[in-house]
Amino acid sequence: MRLRFNIFNLFGVGVVAAFLAIVLVHSNLVESTQDAMERSSRFDVAWVGAGGRLEAYALQKSLARYAVTKSPGDAQQVQLFTDIVTGRFGIFASPTFEEFLDAKASRRDQLTEASLRFKRIVPELKSIENVSDDRISVLISEFETVLRAIDRVGAEAHSESVNHADAIRRELHEKQSLQKWLATSLFVLIALLLGLAAIQNYFLGKAGKKAMRAARDFSYLAHHDNLTGLPNRMAFNVEFEKVVGRLRRPGAGRVAIFAVDLDEFKAVNDRYGHPTGDALLKQATLRMSETCATFENSIMTARLGGDEFAVMMSVPEDDVDAILDQAETLRKALSVPYDIDGTTLVVNASVGVKISAPDRDPSNLLIGADIALSQAKASGKNRVLLFDPSMHDAFIRQALIQSELDNAIENDEITPHYQIKVDVGTGRVVGAEVLARWTHPTLGPVSPAEFTKIAEQSGQIVPLGRKVLEKACRDALRFPREMGIAVNLSVVQFVRDDLVRTVREVLDETGFPAHRLTLEVTESLMISETDRAVEILSQFREMGISVALDDFGTGYSALSYLRTFEWDELKIDRSFVKELETDERAGSIVGSIVSMAHQLGIKVTAEGAETPRQIEILRDAGSDTIQGYHFGRPVPFSDFPAAVLQAVAAAARLERHRVPQQSANLSGKVARLH
C-alpha cells in the first residue's frame, strides 16, 4: 500500500514537471515564432536587396535602350529609374539594412563606394537628353560598377536572409519537436497515471470489499458467542428491542423469555476443568438449538454468558400452558446425561419463564425470567418456574443477603449455635450440632437454610463454612470433654475448597481434638461427587474425625448409600420423625433403617424429635441418639450450659432413674464454662 502511494507520488511529480516543461517550451516557442515573424516583417533584408537589384537592372536596361533610341520616352525611363535607385540607396541607409551591412565590412564599403559613384552620375542621368553619346557610354560603364555592387550586396542579402530564415525554421522545428516529445511524454505519463489509477481503483475496490467483509465478520463476532456460535447478549438485546417495538402496537401478541441455566455447571468447570466445561456448553447448545428448532414459535436462542442462555418465543393464542410445556421439554432435553470424551456427566437445567402482559411494559422481561430462574434454583433446581410478582421481593431479598454476606462473615455476625444431642440409652448429652445463625441489622434473623443456599450459589459458603468450623472448635474446647460437635458441610465446599486441608488447618490452629468432631454431609454429595466425596471423607476418618450422613429420609434415601462409605453416623430426617405418631409404617421404616445401619456398624441419630412419644418410638426402633426441640433448640455458646441442664432434665423426665447421675456431674462441668 505504502509502495503504491510512492509510485503515485512519483508519477504525479513527473506529470506536473512534464506539464510545466511543456508550458515553458510552448511559451518559448510562441515567443520565438513571434520574434521571427517580427524580424521578417519588420525588415526583409532579402527583399530590399532583391528590390535594389531589380531597380538597378531596370536603370541599366533603360540607359542602354536610350543610348540606341535617344527617344524622349526612354530618357524619361532613365530619369524615373534614377530616382528609384536614388530612393533605394535611401532604403539601404535604413537601420535594419545597416545592421546587415555592418555584419560584414566589405558590404558597407562596396555600397558606400557604389553610392558615391552613383551620386556623381545622378545629375547627368537626370538630364540624359543633354548628355553626349560618349558621355553616355561612360555613364553606362560607371553605372555598371554601381550595379555590380548593388547586385553583389543584394545577392548576399538574399542568401543571408535565406540562411537566417533557415536558422529560425530549424530553431522552431527543434522547439516544436521538443514540444512534441514533451507532449508525448505527458500523454504517456497521463496514460500511465490513468492506468495506475485504474489499478489502484481495482485494489481499493478489493480492499473495500475486504473491509466490508471484515466489518461483516466483526459484526458477526460482536453479535455471536465464540464458543457456541449462538447469538450473544448484544444480538439478543437488539432482537428483543425489535420485538418490544412490535409488542407496543395494539393487538400485538405476547412474547415469552426463558432464562436457562445449567445447574451444576460451575462444579463441572471446577472439577473437570474448562475444556470439559466448554465441551458441555457446546453439547448443551446443540440440544437447545435442536429442541428450539422443533418449536414453531421460537424467535431466538442466545448465550448470555457462562452457562446462562435465553430463549425468546412468541406466545401463540395466549396459550401460557403450551409455553410452559415447551420450557419443560427444553429442561428435560438439557437434563439428559452428557457424554464428554467418555465421561458421563449428570447435569440438570433450571428454566425461569416470564411472559409479557398485554398492558405492561415488556422491556424488563429478561429480568423477570432471571428472577424466576434464580427462584427455580433456590427451590431445588432442575425445574421450570413461571415468574410471579412475589418472586421479585424474594429476589431483592436474596440479592441483599448475598451482598451483605461477605461483611457478615468478616465481622463475625454469623455465629454458631448449638443443638444438643442426647443418648437415649443413657439420657446423657453426647454433644451438639453446630447450626449457623445470622441476625442482620435490618433484615433481622436470617435462616441458615436461606443464607447457606445463597452462599452455596455464590461460593461464599467456603469462607462461611471455615469460619463456623473455626468458631465452633474454639467454643467446643470449653465444653465437657465427652461432648463432641457436629458441623454441617455443603457439597459446594467439597467442590470448591481443599476441604481436607481447611479442616486440618482449623484443627491445628484451634487445637480441637479430631475425635470430638463429626462432619455432616447430605446424600446429594454422594449423588454428584461419589468418588471424590468418598476419597475426602476417608481422609477425614483417617484423621480421626467422624462422618455423618445427614437428612436421611429426604431425596432418594437409597440404602445403598450406606454401603458406599463407612459412615460413623446416620441422621434420620425430621420429616420421617414427624410421621411417627400418625403413621405406624414410619416407625417400622425407621426400625429397618436402624437395624440396617447397626449391621453396618453405623450409629443412628434421629432429628427433630419434639414430643415424648416420638422419642419413645425412636428409642424403641433402636435409635442411638436423639436431637430435637424436646431436648432443646439451638442456642448460642453462652446459653449452652443452661441448654445442657434443660436437655438432661428433659431426658430425666423420660428416664427418671438415670437422671441424677449425669445431672449432678454436668451441673459442675457446665458451670465452669462461664
Partner whose footprint covers residue 490, from Ca ion, ligand C2E, none (CB < 5 to 8 Å by kind): ligand C2E
Strands 444-446, 343-345: pairing is unpaired
Handedness of CA 58, 59, 64, 65 (dihedral sign): positive
Radius of gyration of the chain (CA): 62
Identify the residue whose cell numbers are 442462555: 309
- Length of the chain as a residue count: 674
Partner whose footprint covers residue 105, from ligand C2E, Ca ion, none (CB < 5 to 8 Å by kind): none
Q: Are 569 and 547 in contact (CB under 8 A)?
A: yes
In angstroms, the CA 464 to CA 407 distance is 11
448 touches ligand C2E by CB under 6 A:
yes
404 touches ligand C2E by CB under 6 A:
no
In angstroms, the CA 76 to CA 99 distance is 34
Three-state SS string across 337-397, please? CEEECCEEECCCEEEEEEECCCCCCHHHHHHHHHHHHHHHHHCCCCCEEECCHHHHHHHHH
Partner whose footprint covers residue 569, from Ca ion, ligand C2E, none (CB < 5 to 8 Å by kind): none
In angstroms, the CA 493 to CA 465 distance is 8
Which position among 329, 629, 645, 652 is part of the footprint of ligand C2E (CB under 6 A)?
629
- Interface segment toward ligand C2E; rule CB under 6 A; list 237-245, 323-331, 447-455, 560-568: 447-455
449 touches ligand C2E by CB under 6 A:
yes
Q: Are 373 and 384 in contact (CB under 8 A)?
A: no
**Residues contacting ligand C2E: total by CB under 6 A:** 22
Q: Which is nearer to Ca ion, 263 or 520 (CB)?
A: 520
In angstroms, the CA 493 to CA 464 distance is 10
Q: Which is nearer to ligand C2E, 231 or 448 (CB)?
A: 448
Q: Pattern 453-472, binding to ligand C2E, x per CB under 6 A?
A: ------------x--x----
Q: Are 484 and 475 in contact (CB under 8 A)?
A: no
Q: Which is nearer to ligand C2E, 74 or 573 (CB)?
A: 573
Q: How far is the CB of 557 from Ca ion (least distance, A)?
A: 12
Which position among 439, 447, 595, 638 is part of the footprint of ligand C2E (CB under 6 A)?
447
Q: Which is nearer to ligand C2E, 3 or 449 (CB)?
A: 449
Strands 484-488, 517-522: pairing is parallel
Q: Which three cell numbers stand for residue 45?
A: 533584408
**Could you tell me which residues are beta bridge partners of residue 308?**
261, 305
How far CA 552 is from CA of 494, 568, 590, 607, 630, in Å, comes to: 19, 14, 10, 10, 20
In angstroms, the CA 101 to CA 91 distance is 12
Q: How far is the CB of 602 from ligand C2E (least distance, A)?
A: 18
623 touches ligand C2E by CB under 6 A:
no
Q: How far is the CB of 254 from ligand C2E (least distance, A)?
A: 40
Q: How far is the CB of 634 from ligand C2E (least distance, A)?
A: 5
Nearest Cα residue to 580 out of 608, 599, 561, 560: 608
For residues 490-529, which are near ligand C2E according to CB under 6 A? 490
Tell me the backbone φ, ψ of residue 634, rounded to 5 degrees. Answer: -60, 135
Contacts 24+ apart (CB under 8 A), 132-137: 133/67, 136/63, 136/66, 136/67, 137/67
- Interface segment toward ligand C2E; rule CB under 6 A; list 94-102, 125-133, 581-589, 623-631: 623-631
Which position among 51, 231, 553, 634 is part of the footprint of ligand C2E (CB under 6 A)?
634
Q: How far is the CB of 626 from Ca ion (least distance, A)?
A: 13
Q: Which is nearer to Ca ion, 164 or 633 (CB)?
A: 633
Q: Which three cell numbers stand for residue 142?
A: 560607371
475 touches ligand C2E by CB under 6 A:
no
Q: Are 446 and 401 in contact (CB under 8 A)?
A: yes
Q: Which is nearer to ligand C2E, 261 or 497 (CB)?
A: 497
Residue type, 192: L
Q: How far is the CB of 433 from ligand C2E (least distance, A)?
A: 6
In angstroms, the CA 63 to CA 68 distance is 9
- Interface segment toward ligand C2E; rule CB under 6 A; list 297-305, 446-454, 474-482, 616-624: 446-454
Which position among 350, 488, 518, 625 is part of the footprint of ligand C2E (CB under 6 A)?
488
Q: Pattern 585-614, binding to ligand C2E, x per CB under 6 A?
A: ----------------------xx-x----
Q: How far is the CB of 401 from ligand C2E (least distance, A)?
A: 14
Q: Which is nearer to ligand C2E, 226 or 582 (CB)?
A: 582
**Could you tell me which residues are beta bridge partners of residue 546?**
518
352 touches ligand C2E by CB under 6 A:
no
Which position among 348, 375, 419, 460 is part of the footprint of ligand C2E (CB under 6 A)?
419
625 touches ligand C2E by CB under 6 A:
no
Using CB under 5 A, list all residues that contact Ca ion: 488, 520, 550-551, 607
Identify the residue whose cell numbers are 472439577: 271
Nearest Cα residue to 365 out of 448, 267, 466, 256: 256
Three-state SS string across 45-109, please? HHHHHHHHHHHHHHHHHHHHHHHHHCCHHHHHHHHHHHHHHHHHHHHHCCHHHHHHHHCCHHHHH
- Interface segment toward ligand C2E; rule CB under 6 A; list 33-41, 350-358, 365-373, 627-635: 627-635
628 touches ligand C2E by CB under 6 A:
yes
Q: Which is nearer to ligand C2E, 516 or 574 (CB)?
A: 574
106 touches ligand C2E by CB under 6 A:
no
**Could you tell me which residues are beta bridge partners of residue 261?**
308, 350
Q: Pattern 148-187, binding to ligand C2E, x per CB under 6 A?
A: ----------------------------------------
Q: Which is nearer to ligand C2E, 463 or 591 (CB)?
A: 463
384-386: strand order across its sheet? 298-305, 308-315, 254-262, 349-355, 384-386
In angstroms, the CA 55 to CA 142 distance is 16
Q: How far is the CB of 313 from ligand C2E (least distance, A)?
A: 37
Identify the residue whose cell numbers are 540562411: 163
Residues that bind ligand C2E (CB under 6 A): 419, 435-436, 447-449, 452, 465, 468, 488-490, 550-551, 574, 607-608, 610, 627-629, 634
